[in-house]
């Protein structure tokens, strides 16, 4: 799904190391997996999700060599492309796969996709929108700011990979709310989409689970659109860099969790084309299924319903382009 040409606003740095999965990976499995059921989602809702998995404990992803190489790439991106913001995430770099060939190839790695699919109990692939394949988060200089405030993600799956040494900074734990996003929103008097804007403080600390990876190269996997989470503030200045590679479920018959309604307002290069390609991929997959699998004597009402479902993702994208503000701001 990666485009032949990148948006003109992006460019790759010259030179740099190549990604080598034999050298850079050391994949292990998590010791703990929390399910959607444990977070309080209903059986009926879970049936509409690609995976029963909510979130995992940290597990090793990169080797020592991989940590050193990936961290150097993330530092290079920070020097030239980091964005400072007063919104949900203080310091970050978007479009990471357009900035570094090594990071692009890491995010496209089929070994990682297969490993995460095994954990998720569902087939996954790097997200069909390249801009969503990688965000890099950096700790803010202002210690009063969280690295990332309470929110849930605008895509279905991701892993949060620590590439800084967690033993060299205080604070900055990964935290998640052990409940549904609906319960979190109600607790804070918000509509569910508004939680994506970021919530500074939580009103039920008893439901917070805190995790800290034992070393750089460890990450946690989550169905991030269903887990409300944050990266806590640092307690003293330090380097805290995480990579957040995004994934999409390959079962296109399930509802798409990608927040296309908000993405035209991300102000990132090439976003309109990415939304169009994403919706076209979903629609094409469903239309191909109809082309090859629809029975010759299928009832007309069934045919009509299947055709409507096949093109709904395109209609959804068109509605997103016509909006005057994101859903999360309504």
DSSP per position, 79-146: HHH-EE-SSSBSEEE--GGGT-HHHHHHHT-HHHHHHHHHHHTS-EEE-SSGGGS-EEEE--SSTTS-
| Same domain? 80 vs 178 | yes
| Same domain? 139 vs 211 | yes
* % of residues, the chain, pLDDT over 90: 82
CA-CA distance, 30 to 10, in Å (whole number)? 35
Is residue 50 assigned to a domain?
Answer: yes
CA-CA distance, 295 to 54, in Å (whole number)? 36
Is residue 178 assigned to a domain?
Answer: yes
Is residue 131 assigned to a domain?
Answer: yes
Mean pLDDT of 262-269: 88
Q: What is the mean pLDDT of the chain?
A: 93
- Is residue 204 within 8 A of residue 114, CB to CB? The reply is no
Long-range (24+ apart) CB contacts under 8 A made by 315-321 are: 316/256, 316/260, 316/261, 316/279, 317/260, 317/275, 317/276, 317/278, 317/279, 319/261, 320/260, 320/261, 320/262, 320/263, 320/264, 320/275, 321/264, 321/272, 321/275
Cβ density class 77-92: b for 16+ within 10 Å, e for less: bbeebbeeeeebbbbb
| Same domain? 99 vs 193 | yes
Q: Out of 218, 251, 284, pick the residue that ends a domain.
A: 251
pLDDT of residue 60: 99
pLDDT of residue 1: 58
Mean pLDDT of 264-272: 89
Is residue 49 assigned to a domain?
Answer: yes
In tens, the pLDDT along 51-85 reads: 999 999 999 999 999 999 999 999 998 876 666 55
pLDDT of residue 91: 85
Burial class of residue 156 in the structure, from the number of CB atoms within 10 Å of its CB (0-12 exposed, 13-18 middle, 19+ buried)? buried
| Same domain? 112 vs 187 | yes
pLDDT beyond 90 at 2? no
pLDDT beyond 80 at 292? yes
| Same domain? 286 vs 194 | no
pLDDT beyond 80 at 164? yes
| Same domain? 27 vs 124 | yes
pLDDT beyond 90 at 25? yes
| Same domain? 238 vs 287 | no
**Phi, psi (5° rounding) for residue 129?**
-105, 110
Assign residue 29 the CATH number of its domain.
2.60.120.620
Owning domain of residue 293? 272-322
| Cα R_g (the chain), whole angstroms | 20
pLDDT of residue 5: 72
| 3-class SS of residue 283 | helix
Is residue 186 assigned to a domain?
Answer: yes
- Is residue 77 within 8 A of residue 100, CB to CB? The reply is yes
Mean pLDDT of 102-126: 98
Is residue 5 assigned to a domain?
Answer: no
pLDDT beyond 80 at 316? yes
Q: Out of 219, 251, 283, pick the residue that ends a domain.
A: 251
| Same domain? 245 vs 298 | no
| Same domain? 314 vs 187 | no
| Same domain? 60 vs 199 | yes
Q: Provide the whole-model pTM.
A: 0.93
pLDDT beyond 80 at 35? yes
Nearest to 310 by CA among 256, 240, 233: 256
pLDDT beyond 70 at 86? no
Is residue 262 assigned to a domain?
Answer: no
- Is residue 281 within 8 A of residue 118, CB to CB? The reply is no
pLDDT of residue 144: 84
pLDDT of residue 220: 99
Mean pLDDT of 153-180: 97
pLDDT of residue 221: 99
| Same domain? 68 vs 213 | yes
Total structural domains in the chain? 2
Is residue 311 assigned to a domain?
Answer: yes
pLDDT of residue 55: 99
CA-CA distance, 225 to 261, in Å (whole number)? 14
Mean pLDDT of 217-223: 99
| Same domain? 40 vs 158 | yes
């Amino acid at each position: 799904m990666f485009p032949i040409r990148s948006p003109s606003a992006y460019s790759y740095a010259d030179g740099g190391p190549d990604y080598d999965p034999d050298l850079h990976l050391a994949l292990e499995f998590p010791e703990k997996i929390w399910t959607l059921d444990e977070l309080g989602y209903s059986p009926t809702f879970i049936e509409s999700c690609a995976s029963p998995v909510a979130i995992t404990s940290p597990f090793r992803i990169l080797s020592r060599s991989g940590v050193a190489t990936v961290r150097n790439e993330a530092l290079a991106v920070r020097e030239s492309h980091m964005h400072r913001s007063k919104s949900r995430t203080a310091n970050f770099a978007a479009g990471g796969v357009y900035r570094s060939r090594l990071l692009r190839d890491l995010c496209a790695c089929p070994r990682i996709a297969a490993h995460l699919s095994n954990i998720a109990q569902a087939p996954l692939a790097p997200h069909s929108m390249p801009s969503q394949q990688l965000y890099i988060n950096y700790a803010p200089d202002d210690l009063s700011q969280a690295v990332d405030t309470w929110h849930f993600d605008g895509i279905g799956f991701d892993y949060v990979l620590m590439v800084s040494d967690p033993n060299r900074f205080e604070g900055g734990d990964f935290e998640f709310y052990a409940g549904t996003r609906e319960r979190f929103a109600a607790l804070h008097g918000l509509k569910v989409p508004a939680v994506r804007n970021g919530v500074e403080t939580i009103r039920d600390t008893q439901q917070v689970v805190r995790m800290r990876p034992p070393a750089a190269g460890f990450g946690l996997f989550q169905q991030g659109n269903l887990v409300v989470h944050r990266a806590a503030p640092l307690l003293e200045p330090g380097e805290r860099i995480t990579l957040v590679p995004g994934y999409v479920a390959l079962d296109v018959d399930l509802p798409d969790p990608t927040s296309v309604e908000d993405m035209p307002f991300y102000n990132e290069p090439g976003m309109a084309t990415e939304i169009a390609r994403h919706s076209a991929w979903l629609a094409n997959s469903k239309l191909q299924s109809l082309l090859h699998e629809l029975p010759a004597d299928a009832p007309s009402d069934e045919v009509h319903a299947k055709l409507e479902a096949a093109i709904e993702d395109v209609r959804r994208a068109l509605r997103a382009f016509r909006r005057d503000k994101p859903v999360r701001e309504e």
